[in-house]
Amino acid sequence: MTSEESDHVDAIVAQWERERPDLDSSPLHVIGRISRLAGSVDELLRPVFAARGLGDGDFDVLATLRRSGAPYELTPGELGASTMVTSGAVTKRVDRLERAGLVERRVDTSDARGRRIRLTQQGIAMIDEAYAVHMDNEARMLAGLTADERADLVRLLRRTAESFAAGAPRNAPLELQG
């Protein structure tokens, strides 16, 4: 199917336009595709992580530590802020990765009450290899787009994210009016 042909989302929009012509169903063209793509992306990413005994959250922690630069360590709070998960989720992920020998906890030299999470040599090797495979995987997902199309998509997705941020509060969905 080329980008000029109709797809499943077009069919859904057409049905809603037939059934509710009084409403503008055009947002479904974008949101419906983003939603479907999100599910597909997850399905295509998961095997790369699973082949290494990692969940996507585990990969995220390792990648966050690695991209932070030497000495590849952060506080749990810094990890949480960078991965956008709760402190409890960070703790569970770090516990799992520590048992696997990929990270270690150590006392924060600037605050003995605090801890820092650091990649081990095994963790560095794991994330370096996994990240290379991950980037190859993502490149395959986008192989149908030209470099210019990818740049356009980046620009449009960035604007969409800004639009979301400027819209309704994230945890306050619009209530259905009865």
For the chain, the structural domain boundaries read 9-50, 52-164
Rounded CA separation 151/129 (Å):
27
Task: State the residue for tokens 């992306």.
Answer: 41
Residues of the chain with pLDDT under 50: 1, 178
Q: What is the mean pLDDT of the chain?
A: 89
* Statement: 52-164 belongs to CATH 1.20.120.160: no
Residue located via tokens 């390792």: 62
DSSP 140-168: HHTTTS-HHHHHHHHHHHHHHHHHHHHSS
Q: Which amino acid is at 79?
A: L
Query: Please, what's the largest Cα pairwise distance for the chain?
Result: 66
Backbone CA torsion sign across 82, 87, 89, 91: positive
Say what the pLDDT of residue 96 is: 94
Coil, strand, or helix at residue 177?
Answer: coil
Provide the pLDDT for residue 110. Answer: 81
Q: Which residues of 85-120 are buried (b: 16+ CB within 10 A; e: fewer)?
A: beeeebeebbebbeebebbeeeeeeeeeeeebbbbb
C-beta separation of 56 from 62 below 8 A: no
Give the span between the Cα atoms of 158 and 147, in whole angstroms.
16
Please tell me the predicted confidence (pLDDT) of residue 165.
81
pLDDT tens sequence across 19-34: 999 999 999 999 999 9
Task: Please name the residue that has the structure tokens 């740049």.
Answer: 151
74 and 65 Cβ atoms separated by less than 8 Å: yes
| pLDDT value, residue 163 | 87
pTM (global) more than 0.85 = no
The two tokens of residue 159 are 């604007």
Edge-to-edge strand list for the sheet holding 111-119: 73-74, 111-119, 103-108
Q: How many residues does the chain have?
A: 178
